[in-house]
């Protein structure tokens, strides 16, 4: 497994705990809003910063896509 994939799984699981939902719901939400690849590709930024900054960014992305 690549480091990017390993981190992506960690990010999904951590974000799910943060939102108090299961990881499959998070992944479905990413897919629904066409964010899966974008978030996966943010590895260089997300893995280097505080995880809650990534959560905040993801929240903003989802809000923007819900409009």
Query: Does position 9 have pLDDT exceeding 70, yes or no?
Result: yes
Query: What pLDDT sits at residue 67?
Result: 67
Query: What pLDDT sits at residue 66?
Result: 76
Considering its fold, how many domains does the chain have in total? Answer: 1
With cut-offs at 50, 70 and 90, classify the pLDDT of residue 46.
Answer: very high
Query: What residues make up the domain containing 7?
Result: 3-65
pTM of the entire structure?
0.91
CB of 8 closer than 8 Å to CB of 43: yes
Residue 26 parent element (H or E): helix 23-32
């Amino acid at each position: 497994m690549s480091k990017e994939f390993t981190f992506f799984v960690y990010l999904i699981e951590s974000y799910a705990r943060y939102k108090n939902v299961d990881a499959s719901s998070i992944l479905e939400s990413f897919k629904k809003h066409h964010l899966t690849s974008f978030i996966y590709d943010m590895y260089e930024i997300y893995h280097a910063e505080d995880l809650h900054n990534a959560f905040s960014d993801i929240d903003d992305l989802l809000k923007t896509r819900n409009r």
